[in-house]
Amino acid sequence: MTIHKITLRNILLAALVILVAAIVLIRICLHRSIHTTSPEVNSQSEPQRIVSLAPNITEILFELGLADKVIAVSNDCDWPPEALGKEKIGSFWQPSVEAVISCKPDLVITLWFQQQSNVADSLKRLGYKVLTLRLEKLDELAPAIEKIGAATGRSEEAERLLGDINAQIERVKQKYDNQTRPRVLWVVQPEPLRVAGSNTFITELLELAGAQNAISLTSIQYPGLSTEELLTCRADVIIQAAMNKDTIEQQRREAVEFWSKYKNLPAVRNNRIYVVDPDTILRLGPRIGLGLEQIGRIIHEP
Amino acid sequence: MKAKTLTARNVAAKTAAALLLLIVILFFCTLTGSHPVSLKNALSGDEGQGHNIDYEIIFGSRLPRVLLAAIVGAALACAGVTLQAILRNPLADPYILGISSGAGLGGALAIMLASVLGSWAGVSVGIFAFAGALGTVWLVWFIGHFATGRSSATSLLLAGVVVNAFFSALIMFLTQIAKSYQLREIWLWLMGSITEKNLAVIGASAIAVLLGLVGLFSIAQRLNVLTLGRAEAQGLGVATARTNLIAFALAAFVTSVAVSLSGLIGFVGLIVPHGVRLIFGPDHRQLLPLSALCGAALLVIADTLARTVIAPAQLPVGIITAIAGGPFFLILLARYNRKVSWTK
C-alpha cells in the first residue's frame, strides 16, 4: 500500500497534456481543411454526382430526368426500380458519412430530421454542398421539388412535375367533390390497434379524396382506440396499411377476419375493408397524385 | 489483504500499458471502415473538397467518431466505478440514479421542439439532454438526501428509482403525442449512437470529461475507504458526506457530458468497472485510470463494429455493447473466481 500521490498525479497530468496536445493538433489540421475548401466551387455548374438520402427525394430526382446523375441512394430507396441498382450509402435512418464521401458527390440532398441533419452538418463542415429539405406535410412538397430543381439546374422540369402533380390532385378533388363524404378509418397497425388521428397527413389526403377521417379530433397523432370508440366511429370504409407489400392479399383476408367481430361498423357489414401498400400511396413524393387517385377509387368506386 | 502491495510504479506501468493499447486501438479503428483508405494518401493533407477522399474520410468522418467514442467510453466507465463505490452496490451503473431518464426526457423534448428551435435543433438535443441529466441528478440527490432526512445509499437508490420511473412515464407520454418520424428519432437517440461531431464539441467535451476524471482520481484513496462502509470510513477520518457529494457530482457530470454526446449507451459503465476489478483488483487508484482507458477502448471497438458490420448501413452502438458486453462479462466471471464485489 505504498503509493505516492504525487507520482500518480504526475502521470495523470502527463496524460492530460498529451491528450490536450493531440486535440489541439487535430483541431489545427481540421481548421485548415475547413478554411481552405470553398463550397462555392460547384455552385456555378450543374451537379454531376448527386447523392440522395431519402426515398421520396430519389423519386423526385428521377422524375426530373437526373437518373444518370444520381450516384448513390439510401438502402430504402426502392422506386423507380433503377434506383435499386445505385450505390448505397446506408439506411434512411442512419446514413454513413463515410459512404457518402467515398461517392465523391457534388450535391447531397437530405431530409431535415435529427439523424440526417447530423450527416448534413458533417458533410457541410468538409465543404460539401448539401441541400436539406423539410418534407413532412403535403404543402411542403412543392417548395421541396422547386428547391431540388433549382439546385440541379432543372427548374423547368420541376415546374412541369409540380404542374402534373397539382393537376392529378385537382382532378381527384373535382371528381369526388360533390359526393357524400364517407367516414374512413385508416389503420396503421391492427394489433395493438393504432389508427391515423385527425391531425395527420393521412387526414389531409382523405379530405382531398372526398372522404373524412372517422376519428374526430385527437391530440395524439396515431392513437390506440378503445373498443367503445371503435364501435361508435361509424366507419364506412376501413383502409389498413400493409406491413409487407408482398403478401397484401393474405393480409386482406386476415384483416377481414380481424374486423368481423365488429359487425355493427358499416365498413364490416358492407365488406369495405382494404389493405394498401403505404409506400406507393403515402410516400410524399412525385407519386402522391397517383396515390390520391388510388385512395379515391378505393373509397368511391368499390 | 491477500492482494499484492500496490506501488506507484506498478500503477504507472499498468496505466502506461493500457494507454499504449488504447492508442494502438484508436489507430487501427481509425483505419477500419466500410471503405478502404490509404493512410499515406490521407496524411498528404487536404486538397480541397472531393479531391482527397482518404483525407476527408479519416479526418472528417472516422477520427471525430473514434475520439468521441473514446471520450464517452472513458466517462461512462469511470462514472460506473464511482457510483458502485459510493452506493456500495455492484449493480450500480452510470444510469442508476435516473440520469438516463432525465437525459432521455431532455433529448425527447428537444426532438419534439425541433421546429420551434429552428437552426439550433442540431445542437439542442445535446444541450437539453445535458440539462436534463444534471437536473435529474440534482433532484435525486435532493430527494435522497434531504427529503428522507438521512443520507444513506439506500435512500439515494430509492429516490433514483422513483425519479427514473416518473421521467420514463413522461418520455412515454411524449412518444404518444410525437409525430411518427419524431418517434423514430427519439427511439434511435435513446438507443445511443456515436455520430460525427465537430472538433470544437469534441475538444470541449474531452476537456470537460478529463477534468471530471482527474477530479475522481484525486479522491481515489477516499473512495477506497468509503467502500468499507460509512462508519468505518468516518472512523478512519474520511468526511463521508463531503466525499460522497464530490464523487457523486463528478460522476454525474461526466455521465451527463457522455449522454449529451451519444444518447444512452448501456453496459459500458457496468461491465468495464467489473472487468477491470476482476482482473486487477478493487483499488480505486488503479481501478479508475484503467477503467477509463478500457472503457474508451471498448466503446471505440464497439463503434467500429457498429459502423462496419452491416456497412454502409449502421447499427446503434448500444446494441453492440449489450450483445458483446454480456457474454464477455460472463467469460470474465468464469475465469476469475474472485468474488464480484465493490469492496476491497
Q: Model confidence over B33-52: pLDDT tens digits?
A: 888 887 777 777 766 666 67
The pLDDT value given to residue B195: 80
Q: Do residues A191 and A274 share a domain?
A: yes
- Locate the chain A residue with the closest alpha carbon to B13: A11
Q: pLDDT by residue (tens digit) across B117-140?
A: 766 666 788 888 899 988 998 898
* Structural domain count, chain A: 2
Last residue of some domain: A120, A153, A186? A153
- Which residues from A are below 8 Å from B8, CB to CB? 2-4, 7-8
- Domain assignment of residue A227, yes or no: yes
Model pLDDT, residue B68: 93
- Written as one string, the DSSP assignment of B34-102 is SS---HHHHHT---STTT-HHHIIIIIIIHHHHHHHHHHHHHHHHHHHHHHHHHT-TT--TTTTTHHHH
Q: Which residue has the higher pLDDT, B49 or B82?
A: B82
For residues A117 and A191, membership in a common domain is answered with no
Least confident of A117-131, B56-70, B272-286, B312-326: B312-326
Say yes or no for a CB contact (<8 Å) between A136 and B181.
yes
Spatial contact of B285 and B11, defined as CB atoms under 8 Å apart: yes
Q: Give the percent of chain A with pLDDT over 70.
A: 84
pLDDT at A24: 60
Q: Give how far B123 is from chain A: nearest CA, Å.
A: 9
Residue in A15, A93, A125 nearest the CB of B19:
A15
The model's confidence at residue B186, banded by pLDDT at 50, 70 and 90, is: confident
Out of A26, A37, A75, closest to residue B199 by CB = A26
Q: Does residue B330 register a pLDDT over 90?
A: no
Examine the pLDDT at A31 and tell me if it is beyond 60: no
Same domain for A132 and A199? no
Residue A105 lies in a domain: yes
**What is the predicted pLDDT for the residue at A33?**
44
Residues A284 and A196 in one domain: yes
pLDDT band at A131 (very low <50, low <70, confident <90, very high): very high
pLDDT of A2 above 50: no
**Are A220 and B59 within 8 A, CB to CB?**
no
Phi and psi angles of residue B94, each rounded to the nearest 5 degrees, phi first:
-60, -20
Identify the band that residue A18 occupies on the pLDDT scale cut at 50, 70 and 90: low
CATH number of the domain bearing residue A107: 3.40.50.1980
Interface mutation target, options A75, A94, A198, chain B, most CBs of B under 10 Å: A94
Mean pLDDT for B90-102 is: 84
Note whether residue A161 is domain-resident.
no
pLDDT exceeds cutoff 80 at B6: no
pLDDT score of A134:
87
Nearest CB to B46 within list A4, A8, A37? A37
Identify any residues that bridge with A133 across adjacent strands, giving them in sequence order.
A111
For residue A286, give the 3-state DSSP assignment.
coil
Cell of A205: 389526403
If 0-12 CB within 10 Å is exposed, 13-18 middle and 19+ buried, where does residue A199 land?
A: middle
Q: Does residue A27 carry a pLDDT above 60?
A: no
**CB-CB contact of B11 with B289 (8 Å):** yes
Distances (CA, A) of B300 to B23, B70, B284, B297: 11, 6, 23, 5
Closest CB to B313: pick one of A7, A94, A220.
A94
* C-alpha distance from B320 to closest chain A C-alpha (Å): 15
Average pLDDT of the residues of chain A? 83
Which of A136, A86, A146, A84 is closest to A111 using CA atoms? Answer: A136
The residue segments making up the domain with residue A142 are: 50-153
The answer to whether residue A134 is domain-embedded is: yes
Residues A206 and A271 both lie in one domain: yes
Q: Give the closest residue to B86 by CA, choosing from B322, B278, B315, B246.
A: B246
Distances (CA, A) of B279 to B94, B273, B275, B283: 21, 10, 6, 11
Which of A135-139, A236-240, B55-59, B109-113 tops mean pLDDT?
Answer: A236-240
Pair A203, A285 in one domain: yes
From residue B14, give the alpha-carbon distance in Å to each of B6, B18, B298.
Answer: 11, 6, 17
Helices A114-125 and B121-142, axial angle in degrees (round to 10): 120
In a domain, residue A169? The reply is no
Find the mean pLDDT for residues B298-310: 90
| Residue B205 clears pLDDT 60, i.e. is over it | yes
Query: Residue A130 above 80 pLDDT?
Result: yes
> Cα-atom radius of gyration of chain A, to the nearest Å?
26
Residues of B in contact with A221 (CB under 8 A): 177-180
Its pTM stands at 0.78
Mean pLDDT, residues A71-81: 90
Contact A110, A54 (CB under 8 A): yes
- The verdict on a CB contact (< 8 Å) between B307 and A31 is no
Of B64, B180, B313, the CB nearest to A75: B313
Domain count, chain B: 1
What's the pLDDT at A21? 67
Tell me the average pLDDT across B281-307. Answer: 91
User: Mean pLDDT across the stretch B17-29?
Assistant: 93
Please name which of A275, A272, A195 lies closest in space to residue A236, comparing C-alpha atoms. Answer: A272
Q: Is the pLDDT of residue A34 over 50?
A: no
Q: Supply the pLDDT for residue B4.
A: 54
Please give the full DSSP string across B233-279, using - where no structure is assigned. HHHTT--HHHHHHHHHHHHHHHHHHHHHHHS---SHHHHHHHHHHHH
- How distant, in Å, are the alpha carbons of A275, B142, B160 from that of B148? 57, 9, 13
Compare CB distances from B203 to A23, A39, A128 and report the shortest one's residue: A23
Q: Is the separation of the CB atoms in A118 and B261 below 8 Å?
A: no
pLDDT confidence of residue A149: 93
Q: Which domain holds residue B185?
A: 3-343
In a shared domain, residues A116 and A192: no
A5, part of any domain:
no
What's the pLDDT tens digit per position in A152-180? 999 999 999 999 999 999 999 888 887 78
A125 contacts B198? CB cut-off 8 A: yes
Q: How far apart are the CA of B60 and the nearest CA of chain A, in angstroms?
A: 7
Closest-CA residue of chain A to B219? A5
Phi, psi of A111 (to 5 degrees): -90, -175
Name the residue in chain A with its Cα closest to that of B64. A26
For all residues of chain B together, what is the average pLDDT?
83
Residue A3 belongs to a domain: no
| Separation between Cα atoms, residue B303 and residue B107, nearest integer Å | 21
CATH of the domain at B251: 1.10.3470.10
How many other CB atoms are there within 10 angstroms of residue B301's CB atom?
A: 20
**How much is the pLDDT for A36?**
39
Query: Considering only CB atoms, which chain B residues are within 8 Å of A88?
Result: 312-313
Whole-number pLDDT of residue A11:
56
Interchain pair A41, B48: CB under 8 A: yes
CA distance A301 to chain B (A): 30
What's the Rg (C-alpha) of chain B?
A: 20
Instruction: Mean pLDDT check: name the lowest of A82-86, B322-326, B332-336.
Output: B332-336
Asked if B62 and A98 count as a contact pair (C-beta separation under 8 A), the reply is: yes
Average pLDDT over residues A70-88: 91
Decide if B61 and A41 are in contact by the 8 Å CB cutoff.
no
- Asked whether the beta carbons of A2 and B283 are under 8 A apart, the reply is no
Arithmetic mean of pLDDT, B270-286 = 87
CB contact at 8 A, A152 and A50:
yes
Question: Do A102 and B203 lie within an 8 Å CB cutoff?
Answer: no
Task: Cell numbers for B152, please give them.
Answer: 444513506
Q: How many helices (H) and strands (E) does chain B have?
A: 16, 0
